[in-house]
Amino acid sequence: MEDGDRNALTSALVQQNYAFVASFAVILWECLISFRQEVKYVWCCPSKATKYLFLFCRYYAMGYFIACSIFGTQWTLRNPISSKRCRTWFLIHVASFGFVHTGIQLILTRKVFNLYERSTPLATGLFALHCIQVGGTFIWGYNISASLNFNPICNSGNVPNHIFSVVATVICVQCMTWTLILRKVWKVQPRFFPRWRRYLLTSEAHAKLSCGLCFVAILFNASHSFVNQRSAPVYLFAFPMAVLSVGTCRYILQVEKDRDLREELVEAVNTLKGRGEQFVSEKQSISHGDTLPAQDQHQHSPQPPEETPSPLSHTEALSIRTSNSHVERHNLGAVVSNFPYLRGAESYKLHRNRRSMATTSTNDSPRSSSDGASRHTVSVQMSHLWGSDAAAGLGPVLHVAASEGTDVDDQVDEMEERQSTSNIKIGSLHSSSSLNSEQLRQFYNDTWNIGPFMASGP
């Protein structure tokens, strides 16, 4: 082997090893960033078939690339590989790609089965067609490997033209499957999704992209190998397998995530629906006079009877009490001298002067003087009587008690004096800010309606 050929083969071997390592790094990175979701959604998945397909598509591809990297480092130009071993290695590449492709085909077949109302004949026919395609791929791969000429690094020459038959069969089966899927999906969704960023996160987008990139790569590599009559298995199978593995695993993860979200929503809706039905049933039972629910019986215990409110509020009682003490502190003489402008002050002065002149001229006995003093003194007593009137809500009653006179003249004089006294007291009450108009009106009426004749009785 010449030095130029040796250097070319060495460079090609290094590039193949780099390609295997790069494909393995892509799958490893995808595994690391989605491992948490894998544990959450796939490992706890109720469907064992989905779980096994996911684990196979991910970890079988990782093992494939690890094996290719190890074998690639052992192949050197000093130890050339025989054609028989290269042929076996080529068939391993074909079988590995066929297994991973079968995984995604099973997933798509199950999707068709669910979309078409669990149509068993349709799913069975599609799966049988895929089995025929896989079997034909293995047969054609074996025939192609027999016609290939392998060099020391297992790159082949003399590529036959029926390699395109294998590629065309695989693409036709995939196109048929996606036609059945999109025929149902596009009836629900618009053909052109308005937001591409959101669409790229869906499971359908993952499956479409993985299958599309895979078969574009296969078609390009097959055409390139046929034109140059030189084929490298790493370029023909490694990159399509990496794309299929990543796309299939993302598709399964997204489907399981959507299923888990739907279950949570259904559970929440059922919970709210149950609470609503319970609430409606409780309302109906209450409206029909049935017994209350057990959890609400303690909330509907009979309430104790309310106490009868007092006829007067606290503010009114306090104001009347203050006015009583204020009135009792005033002397009539002091009020007249301090407030001469009050109504009845002049009349009170005239009566007082006349009484004083009559008292000094007659010089009566102590008893008569005491009687006169009792006739001239008016005792206004304000008290709250909570008898039958208070129970009826009449409030406090003002009583004016006057001493009885012994003759009619004294009674007339006493009435006139009472008028002046009441006028003075009413004026003083007007000057006090603690009484309102209603209390003044009641005091005025009681004073004029209860005279000496009515107070003494018949």
Which of 51-65, 90-104, 209-223, 420-434 is the least confident region? Answer: 420-434
337: pLDDT confidence band, cut at 50, 70 and 90? Answer: low
371: pLDDT confidence band, cut at 50, 70 and 90? Answer: very low
Q: Residue 341's pLDDT is what?
A: 57
Q: How far apart are the first and last CA of the chain?
A: 158
Higher pLDDT, 377 or 159: 159
The domain made up of 3-276 has a fold known as Rhopdopsin 7-helix transmembrane proteins (1.20.1070)
Phi, psi of 231 (to 5 degrees): -130, 135
The Cα 167–Cα 224 span in angstroms is 13
Which of 3-12, 161-170, 207-216 is the least confident region? Answer: 3-12
252: pLDDT confidence band, cut at 50, 70 and 90? Answer: confident
450: pLDDT confidence band, cut at 50, 70 and 90? Answer: very low
The answer to whether residue 199 scores a pLDDT higher than 70 is no
The Cα 71–Cα 76 span in angstroms is 10
Instruction: Give me the mean pLDDT over the 199-214 stretch.
Output: 70
Q: Residue 187's pLDDT is what?
A: 58
Q: Residue 388's pLDDT is what?
A: 39
Q: Residue 223's pLDDT is what?
A: 83
Residue 120: partners with Cβ closer than 8 Å, 6 or more residues away: 113
Q: Residue 162's pLDDT is what?
A: 80
Instruction: Give me the mean pLDDT over the 352-358 stretch.
Output: 68
Residue with structure tokens 């809706």?
269
Instruction: Give me the mean pLDDT over the 107-129 stretch.
Output: 87
Mean pLDDT, the chain, integer: 69
Q: Residue 298's pLDDT is what?
A: 46
Closest by Cα among 417, 401, 409, 406 to 452: 401
The answer to whether residue 26 scores a pLDDT higher than 50 is yes
Which of 76-80, 191-195, 237-241, 324-328 is the least confident region? Answer: 324-328
Q: Contact, 345 vs 336, CB < 8 A?
A: yes
441: pLDDT confidence band, cut at 50, 70 and 90? Answer: low
Q: Residue 389's pLDDT is what?
A: 40
Rounded to two decimals, what is the model's pTM?
0.54
pLDDT in tens, 217-236: 888 888 888 888 888 877 88
Spell out the domain ranges in the chain.
Answer: 3-276, 314-456
Instruction: Give me the mean pLDDT over the 150-166 stretch.
Output: 81
Q: Residue 150's pLDDT is what?
A: 82
DSSP 8-state symbol, 404: P
Percent of the chain with pLDDT over 70: 55
The answer to whether residue 82 scores a pLDDT higher than 50 is yes
Q: Residue 145's pLDDT is what?
A: 84
Q: Residue 398's pLDDT is what?
A: 36
The answer to whether residue 49 scores a pLDDT higher than 70 is yes
Instruction: Give me the mean pLDDT over the 125-143 stretch.
Output: 87
pLDDT in tens, 269-300: 888 777 777 777 776 777 665 444 444 444 44
Q: Contact, 100 vs 60, CB < 8 A?
A: yes
DSSP 8-state symbol, 407: S
Q: Residue 67's pLDDT is what?
A: 83
The answer to whether residue 205 scores a pLDDT higher than 60 is yes
Query: 48-55: long-range contacts (C-beta < 8 A, 24 or more apart)?
Result: 49/110, 50/107, 50/252, 50/255, 50/256, 53/103, 53/106, 53/107, 53/248, 53/252, 54/248, 54/249, 54/252, 54/253
The answer to whether residue 76 scores a pLDDT higher than 70 is no
Instruction: Give me the mean pLDDT over the 409-422 stretch.
Output: 57
Output the CA–CA distances (angstroms, integers) from residue 293 to 270, 271, 275, 284, 300, in the order listed. Answer: 21, 19, 14, 11, 10
Q: Residue 454's pLDDT is what?
A: 42
Q: Residue 424's pLDDT is what?
A: 52
Q: Contact, 259 vs 82, CB < 8 A?
A: no
Residue 311: partners with Cβ closer than 8 Å, 6 or more residues away: 390, 393, 394, 395
Q: Residue 140's pLDDT is what?
A: 85
328: pLDDT confidence band, cut at 50, 70 and 90? Answer: very low
Instruction: Give me the mean pLDDT over the 77-104 stretch.
Output: 81
Q: Residue 203's pLDDT is what?
A: 61
Instruction: Give me the mean pLDDT over the 380-387 stretch.
Output: 39
* Highest-pLDDT range among 72-86, 138-152, 299-313, 358-372: 138-152
Which of 189-198, 286-295, 303-312 is the least confident region? Answer: 303-312
